[in-house]
Each structure stands twice: as structure tokens, then as C-alpha cells.
Amino acid sequence: MPDIKVVPLGAGQDVGRSCILVTIGGKNIMLDCGMHMGYNDERRFPDFSYITRAGRLTQHLDCVIISHFHLDHCGALPYFSEMVGYDGPIYMTHPTKAICPILLEDYRKITVERKGETNFFTSQMIKDCMKKVVTVNLHQTVKVDDELEIKAYYAGHVLGAAMFHIKVGTESLVYTGDYNMTPDRHLGAAWIDKCRPDVLITESTYATTIRDSKRCRERDFLKKVHESMDKGGKVLIPVFALGRAQELCILLETYWDRMNLKAPIYFSTGLTEKANHYYKLFVTWTNQKIKNTFVQRNMFDFKHIKPFDRSFIDNPGPMVVFATPGMLHAGLSLQIFKKWAADEKNMVVIPGYCVAGTVGHKVLSGQKKIELDKKSIIDVKLSVQYMSFSAHADAKGIMQLIRQAEPKNVVLVHGEAGKMDFLKQQIEKEFGIGCFKPANGETVCMETIPTIAVDMSLALLKRKVMSLEKKDAKRAKLSPHNNHLPVQGVLVIKDTSVRLVEPAQAMKELGLTEHKLRFTSSVILETTVPYHVFIEKLQSQLERLLPNYPVQRVAEGCLSVDDSVLIKISPSSDDVTHEASSCTALVSWTLQEEELGSHVLSLLRDRIIRPVVSLDESSV
């Protein structure tokens, strides 16, 4: 039996360093190639030696697919392609290809120029890596080779994020990457058609969370920021350059306008301009409201939000600052946090998930003294607020996607092991399908049932549908069950075409004469009435018990049911005018009508008149 193998090199029972190896129909595919924000050593990248310990990886992989531009999904890409060695195709959407190199370069600068690391990819390597990228449009089927094809679906989450449907022959798999089933102020909701894949690999970041109303969360966020401004405090909002940053900027911009607030709002220098540029360029990826108003007013041209300069950190008075990165693990957001953490009037609002090991995670877990290295310890006195504006699907959203796609198996990645256990139980209970949560380096094998596409003749389909309209109890088992409808016919294979046709049509095409096979069984029935009366009574009883089938007398002493099952009644004595103590009924039917024939025979045995002697069966 063929199977699909899934092994996470990253994001197995963990968030960060997404990298999933999949083997489907003899093809090897890498899904995402991210870095882990909680590590600064070799653990930050996936262990590519799992694929091969020597030589380049091109011959071992058919393609690489990147779901979106977040570094935990693409941060290891230049290291993988240029330093480890991979020359094959890398697939991603147009916005992902445009934004990826900017974030990779930003990541490289922080790691190499500020932290002084040496074994790291260069700016040139980022450029060389991006030359290997093949872009895909939404709903466009891309043929990687003669057998492997991929198709992208809208995932919400961030600009350009996509879910990928991967197909090899009759086997298929969907990889979600990160997605959001709820539309927000600048992006639409994720969507996929009922593709019924063999395997659905889904993120499970918020596996146990069902988020409250977004409107309530927004109101709470604005109230807390406003209160902090009134107290003269400073508010730090650590964000990633694109995504939640734009969502919260639109929210604050609207609120500042409405309340006529004067406190300055700042955004990391350079990133606002770049973000605006890409949102203008890829406006078709935003939600309907932004698309509709784009010509009159660009939602991303902010009136109240200005570029931030590092010299503003020590400015007196209230202010709101959006700074990158989002988990306080490096860069400007960490620098500002170190300066502002000791003042109780200040506040940090963490709007999304923080990976274990980052400063953001430590702050959220309530640590009051955070050791960055042996020389610096942060004394945390400022107010810490966690408000989930995360663009990940919650438990309800994950269940909704499973309902939408109807997979045969589910694999959970990009989540915490304990939370995955809860979601796994819910999926198995509600959908009755296999659900797996492999750890990094652990292989999951899922058997697939091969399916063959067959063209069916219209005559055969019509006959099948008409038979389903008949309500006879014995035929009930032919009714549709689990989206499957059993059909009998002759399978004709010629060259590459496979057809299911009526037997008569197949005989005609092949120039064969039909050989008819009939089954006959006899049953002896007791009677106390004359022979001709007995036949009339038998006919009326059969008509009552089989209301959906015509019962006719076709010859002397002979009845037919549905023109296919014949019943020949013979008296036990030669004199048909007198009462007979018993009659012999011969029931005959073709192979095609075996169910109806068997049913009629059982009626004669059990429901009309009990046999007085054991029945004698024979096949002709």
C-alpha cells in the first residue's frame, strides 16, 4: 500500500524553525525553511544532515515551498541553499519573494554586524538564493515536473501568505503554513476548497485557545494605551515589520483621529515606507474594504504615525513606539525595552506569540529580572500587557479548516506538545480521522488508498440513480454512504482511457456474444386452494410486499418480478383443478439481479407460506 511520510526538521511539537520534509508518490518536498528565534547557536537552523550527510541536497529534494515571509518560515533559506547546497526550485508567492530578502538582510545585519557572528550567510548569498525562486499565483496549478503539481490558496495571516495543495498522481497533501480563518482590518480570511487531501499538515500555535471578540480586544487595547498616555507613560509595541504592525497602526490611527490625541506615534525608521510600498504593490492581497477605497485613499498613508529615530528613546513625555522585532529577542525593540523597563508609568503591549527562550516569552511569564548576558540584567517594573492580535487560527479556526478541506489524516506542527494533545483528541473525536503530532526528527507514515479516475457512461449512471429511487429494503444498502456510490458495470481499459460502461455496450464494442448466467432455486409451498387460485393469491401477495416492482403473469403458471426474476409454479399432482397439498416454485434470476432474486426467494420461504419440506437448491 502506498504511503505519505512526514518528518519535521523543525516546528515538531515546537514553534519556530518551521521545516517539514514530505515524501509523497516518490517525490521529496521541503515545506518551509525557517530559523528559531530562541537560539543563537547551531540550533537556530534545522538539522539538514538528516537529509544527507555529504554533498549537495539538490539530488535528494524535488522542490522547496515557502509559505510566507516570516523568519521562522524562511530565515534559514540562504544558509540551506548557498552554504549547505541546494540548486533546485524554491516556490513562493510574489509578495513573499519581494519581502523575504528585506527581512533576511535585516536578520543578517543584526546577527553579523551587531553580534559579530562569522559563520553566517552574506548579502550576496541572499541575492543568489532569491534567483532560484519560482513565483506562483493564487489558484494557479504549477507543474514542478511531469508528476508533481502544486497549487496556492489564500491564507490570510500576512501579505502573500499561502497554503499549498501538493499532488502526485492520485495522492495529495495540503500544507497550511500559518493562516487565519478570521478577516481583519487589512487582510481577508484563509480559504481552501473541498479538496479532500490524504494528509493535512496544519499549524497549531493556538491549539487550545478560542479567542474572544476582536472588537472587545481592540477596545481594551485602545483603553490601556490611552490610560498610559494620560499618565505620561511610554508604550512599546514590539511587532514584526509587516502584518500585525499594519493592523495596529490602522487601529491607532483611526482612534487618534477620533479622540484628537496629540501624543506622538512612531514606527521603526525605514520599515514603514517599505511596508507601504509593498501594500500598494500587492493591494490585491488585502481585504475588500482596502481594495475598494484604495484609489481614493491609501489606508497605509498614516497622518499620526511618524518614523522613529533612536535619539527619541530618551525624549520626555508620552509616546507610542512600534519597534521590531516582535519577540524582543534583538534589535530596536529590545534596546527600547531595556531603557523603559524600569519605569512603572511605561507599558509594553505584546500583541502576538513569543517563542520560548526569547525576552518576550520571559516577560510574559512574569519574570521581574531578566538576564541578557553576564553583564546586563533588565529590571522589569513597567506594566506588561498581552493582547492577542496574532494572525494565527485558533482552535475553532483549525476545526473549521478541517471541515472545509475534509482530509483523511491530520498532522499537527508549529505548536506546543501539551496543547497539541488536546486538539488531537478533539479532531479524532469530531471527525473520526487519524491525527498525528510528530516531534522533530520523528517520521509519521500514513497509508493512502489509490483512486483511479474513470469515465462512466450516462446510461449506466441513469440506471443507478433510478435504482436508488426504489425504496425496497433489500436495496437500501446501495444508497450513498460517506460520499461513495457503488456502481456495477464493465471496466474497459484502452490505451490511457478507463471507462465504466453497460455490459451490453462493452459486448458490442468488443464484438462478443453475451453469455447469460441464471440462478434457479426451488422451494416447496403448502397450499389448501386450487392451483389457479393459489397463483392469483401469490401474485397479489407479491404485489403488496414489493410495491416498487411490477409483478406480472407472463405465461400459464409463470410470474415475473421487474421483468427479470421469474417464478414458475408447478402443482404436486397433474390435476390443476383440484386442491393440491403443495406446489413447487422455481425462482430464477440473472447475476445482475441477484439481490432482487434472493429477496423474492426469501419472501417465498419466510413471509408468504412456510415450506413444509426442506428446500432443494440448484444453480444452472
What is the distance between the alpha carbons of residues 333 and 341, in angstroms, rounded to a whole number? 12
Domain total for the chain? 3
- Could you read off the pLDDT of 289-325 as tens digits, one per residue? 888 777 666 777 788 989 898 999 999 999 999 998 8
Q: Is 235 in the same domain as 378?
A: yes
State the cell numbers at 320: 507610542
Q: Provide the residue type at 615 as one letter.
A: L
What is the distance between the alpha carbons of residues 172 and 380, in angstroms, rounded to a whole number? 50
- Could you read off the pLDDT of 117-135 as tens digits, one per residue? 888 999 999 999 999 999 9
For residues 419-424, average pLDDT: 95
Which CATH number goes with the domain that contains 567? 3.30.1370
Instruction: Report DSSP state, residue 135.
Output: E
Which CATH number goes with the domain that contains 91? 3.60.15.10
What is the distance between the alpha carbons of residues 170 and 331, in angstroms, rounded to a whole number? 47
DSSP string, 59-95: GG-SEEE---S-HHHHTTHHIIIIIII--S-EEEEHH
| Run of H or E residues at 551 | strand 551-555
Q: For residues 51 and 57, is the Cβ–Cβ distance under 8 A?
A: yes
Instruction: Report DSSP state, residue 313.
Output: G
- Is residue 570 in some structural domain? yes
Residue written as grid cell 521562522: 72
For residues 464-468, average pLDDT: 73
CA 7 to chain centre: 17
Alpha helices, DSSP H only, in 341-379? 359-364
Q: For residues 549 and 596, is the Cβ–Cβ distance under 8 A?
A: yes
Q: Which of 551, 524, 392 is nearest to 11 (CA)?
A: 392
Q: Is 7 in the same domain as 121?
A: yes
Residues with Cβ within 8 Å of 232's Cβ and at least 6 positions away in sequence, in order, are: 317, 318, 345
Q: For residues 591 and 571, is the Cβ–Cβ distance under 8 A?
A: no
What is the distance between the alpha carbons of residues 597 and 594, in angstroms, rounded to a whole number? 5
- Is residue 467 in some structural domain? no
Angle at 319 between CA 315 and CA 323, to 5 degrees: 95
* Residue-range definition of the domain harbouring residue 162: 3-172+410-415+436-447
Euclidean distance between the first and the last CA atom of the chain, given in angstroms as a whole number: 39
Q: Is 370 in the same domain as 243?
A: yes
- Is residue 492 in some structural domain? no
Instruction: Return the pLDDT at 615.
Output: 36
State the cell numbers at 594: 441477484
DSSP 3-state of 174: strand
Query: Strand pairing partners for 447?
Result: 3
Q: Is 232 in the same domain as 317?
A: yes
- Could you read off the pLDDT of 500-554 as tens digits, one per residue? 988 888 888 888 887 778 899 988 888 888 888 888 888 898 988 888 899 999 8
pLDDT band at 578 (very low <50, low <70, confident <90, very high): low
Sheet with 518-526: strands ordered across: 551-555, 558-561, 565-571, 582-590, 518-526, 616-619
- Is residue 496 in some structural domain? no
Q: Is 114 in the same domain as 260?
A: no
Instruction: Report DSSP state, residue 528.
Output: S
Q: Is 351 in the same domain as 229?
A: yes
Q: Is 163 in the same domain as 272?
A: no
Q: Is 223 in the same domain as 345?
A: yes
What is the distance between the alpha carbons of residues 518 and 113, in angstroms, rounded to a whole number? 87
Instruction: Return the pLDDT at 475.
Output: 44
Q: What share of the chain is helix, strand, coil (3-state, %, to 5)?
A: 35, 25, 40
**Whole-number mean pLDDT of the chain?**
87
State the cell numbers at 505: 455496450
Q: CA separation (Å) from 28 to 23, 59, 103, 145, 235?
A: 5, 10, 27, 12, 47
Q: For residues 521 and 598, is the Cβ–Cβ distance under 8 A?
A: no
Q: Is 223 in the same domain as 354?
A: yes
Instruction: Return the pLDDT at 202.
Output: 98
Instruction: Return the pLDDT at 616.
Output: 39
| 203 carries an active-site annotation | yes
| Run of H or E residues at 503 | helix 503-510
pLDDT band at 116 (very low <50, low <70, confident <90, very high): confident
What is the distance between the alpha carbons of residues 569 and 523, in angstroms, rounded to a whole number? 10
Instruction: Return the pLDDT at 275.
Output: 72
Using the Cα atoms of residue 505, residue 506, residue 510 and residue 516 in order, give the sign of their dihedral: negative
Instruction: Report DSSP state, residue 33.
Output: -
Sheet with 455-456: strands ordered across: 455-456, 497-501, 490-494
- Is residue 42 in some structural domain? yes
Residue from 171, 203, 218, 253 carrying the catalytic annotation: 203
Instruction: Return the pLDDT at 592.
Output: 77
HEC assignment per residue over 388-456: CCCCCCEHHHHHHHHHHHCCCEEEEECCCHHHHHHHHHHHHHHHCCEEECCCCCCCEEEECCCCCCCEE
Query: Strand pairing partners for 386?
Result: 350
Residue 344 main-chain phi, psi, to 5 deg: -65, -25
Which CATH number goes with the domain that contains 377? 3.40.50.10890
Q: Is 229 in the same domain as 129?
A: no
Q: Is 37 in the same domain as 154?
A: yes
Q: Is 8 in the same domain as 64?
A: yes
CA atoms within 13 A on the CB side of 525: 29
- Could you read off the pLDDT of 234-269 as tens digits, one per residue? 999 998 767 778 888 889 999 999 999 999 999 886
